[in-house]
Structure 1
Amino acid sequence: MNSATDQPVTDAPIHVVLIIGSNREGRFGPVVAEWLLSRIRERDDMEVDVVDAADVRLPTALSYSPSAEVTGELAKVTPKLADADAFVVLTPEYNHSFPAPLKNLIDWHYTEWRAKPVAFVSYGGLSGGLRAVEHLRQVFAELHAVTVRDTVSFHNAGAHFDDEGRHRDPAAPDAAAKGMLDQLVWWGRTLKEAKEVRPYAG
C-alpha cells in the first residue's frame, strides 16, 4: 500500500497507443513502427495498440457537430485514444516540422490526451526528425499532456534498416528505446494512479 494515499501501487501493464503520424505515399514509417513494436512486445509492462494516420480520413475543418461520415472515422480512433494510459508518437520531419495528418488527428481530440504521457520516435534526414518532435512537445503541452524527456531518433533512416526491416546496428537504438519506454511506463503508471486518487482538473 502507498502510505500517503492508502491506494495500492500496481505493476500491471499500461495500455500504450502507438500513433503512426505519416500518410505519405511510399512512407518509411511502417518500417520504424514494426521495429518499435517488436521492442514493446518484448516487455511485460506494456500492452500496445496502433493508430495509423493513413487509416483515418478526418477533414481539416473541425466541427462540433460532425457528419455521420466523420463520426464513423472518429469511431476508428477515438475509443483507442481514450482508453490509452500513454502514447508513443512516430513522426517523420516534413519541412522542419511534423505532418499535417498528425496535427489533424491531434486537433480532433482533446480530453483523450489530458494528463497522459507522450513519448516520441522520429526519423528524417540529418536532423533525424528532432525538429518535428520539438514542435510536437509544444502542441501536447497545450493539451495538458506530459512529454517524456528521452526520444528515439533515426537520421537518414532508410540507410540504417535492411530489406527485412532490421536495424543494421541495433545496440544504440535498442538502448535508446529501452530508456524512453522505461520513462513512459513510469509516467503512465504514476499519472494513472494519481488520477484514481484525484481526477485531473486542469
Structure 2
Amino acid sequence: MAALRVATIIGSTREGRVGESVGRWFAEQAGRRADVELTVLDLADFVFPARLPEVATREMDAFAEQIGRAEAFVVVTPEYNRSFPASLKQAIDCAYDEWHGKPAGFVSYGCRSSGLYAVEQLRAVFTELHVVTMRDTVSFNLLDGGVDDAGRPPDDGEPARALTAMLDQLVWWGRALRAARAAVPYIS
C-alpha cells in the first residue's frame, strides 16, 4: 500500500520559537516510518496577508494546494493564552474543501499544560472542517525538561511512545479515509 502523504504544519511564526525544533524532531522521528511520506509546511515560510482578501493570493493558493495534496496532517502547535496562535488559524482558513475527510494528529508544547488547551481548541476548528482528529497526542511541558536547551524533545521514552501511538492511529484513519474517498467522493 502506498505511503500516506502527511503534511506536518509548524504553526508558530514567533521569533525565538520552539516550534521549529519540535517540528523538525517530529519529522525526523516520523520519517523513519515506511508508511508515511512527509512534507513539512512551516508557516514562517509563508507570507499571508494581514486581512483575508476577496481573491486568494498566490501564497494562500500554494498553501491550500499543499493541504489538498496531503492525505493526513500533523499540526505542531504551541499554546498561547490557552489557545493556538493566530498564524495557525490564518493558515487553516486559507483552505476549506482541501481539509475535508482527512485525519489530523497533534504535537503540542507549552508551559504546565503542555499545549493541550491549544489542541482542544484545534479539535473544535477541525471538526467544523470535517477532519477526524486523533485521540492520542504528543505533548511537551517546556518548564519541566520536556525539551533541551535547543528546544528539542528527547528521542526516546514517553515522547517516542506517544508519537508511535498517534502515528499508528493517523495511518489507520488516513488509509481508511483514502479508501472511502476513492470509493465515494466526500460530501461536505
Cα offset, 1:118, TM superposition: 0.6
Residue equivalent to 1:176: 162
- Counterparts in 2 of 1:66-145, with a 5 A limit? 66=56, 71-145=57-131
- Identity percentage over the alignment? 50
TM normalised by structure 2 equals 0.94
Q: Could you tell me how far apart the structure 2 residues matched to 1:153 and 1:183 are?
A: 16
Comparing 180-189 and 57-66, the one that deviates more: 57-66
Of the three residues 188, 196, 199, the one matched with 2:174 is 188
Counterpart of 2:148 in structure 1: which amino acid?
D
Counterpart of 1:172 in structure 2: which amino acid?
E
> Structure 1 residues 73 and 127, CA, compared in 2 at 3 Å: closer, same or farther?
same
8 Å contact 2:7–2:67 — kept in the other structure? yes
Cα offset, 1:103, TM superposition: 0.2
TM normalised by structure 1 equals 0.87
Q: Could you tell me how far apart the structure 2 residues matched to 1:164 and 1:94 are?
A: 20
8 Å contact 1:160–1:169 — kept in the other structure? no
Unpaired runs of 5+ residues, structure 2, are none
Query: What SS does the corresponding residue of 2:163 show, helix, strand or coil?
Result: helix
Residue equivalent to 1:61: 51
Q: Could you tell me how far apart the structure 2 residues matched to 1:171 and 1:76 are?
A: 37
8 Å contact 2:63–2:94 — kept in the other structure? no
The answer to whether 1:14 aligns with 2:4 is yes
8 Å contact 1:123–1:157 — kept in the other structure? no
> Structure 1 residues 32 and 106, CA, compared in 2 at 3 Å: closer, same or farther?
same
Deviations 1:53-73 (A, max 9, x none): 11112124223323xxxx221
Higher Rg:
1
> Structure 1 residues 169 and 55, CA, compared in 2 at 3 Å: closer, same or farther?
closer
Query: What SS does the corresponding residue of 1:90 show, helix, strand or coil?
Result: strand
Query: What SS does the corresponding residue of 2:99 show, helix, strand or coil?
Result: coil
Q: Could you tell me how far apart the structure 2 residues matched to 1:169 and 1:189 are?
A: 27
Aligned CA-pair RMSD: 1.7
The answer to whether 1:148 aligns with 2:138 is no
Comparing 152-161 and 35-44, the one that deviates more: 152-161
Q: Could you tell me how far apart the structure 2 residues matched to 1:20 and 1:184 are?
A: 17
Query: What SS does the corresponding residue of 1:160 show, helix, strand or coil?
Result: coil
Q: Could you tell me how far apart the structure 2 residues matched to 1:109 and 1:168 are?
A: 33
Q: Could you tell me how far apart the structure 2 residues matched to 1:52 and 1:135 are?
A: 20
8 Å contact 2:76–2:108 — kept in the other structure? yes
Q: Could you tell me how far apart the structure 2 residues matched to 1:142 and 1:169 are?
A: 34
Cα offset, 1:172, TM superposition: 0.7
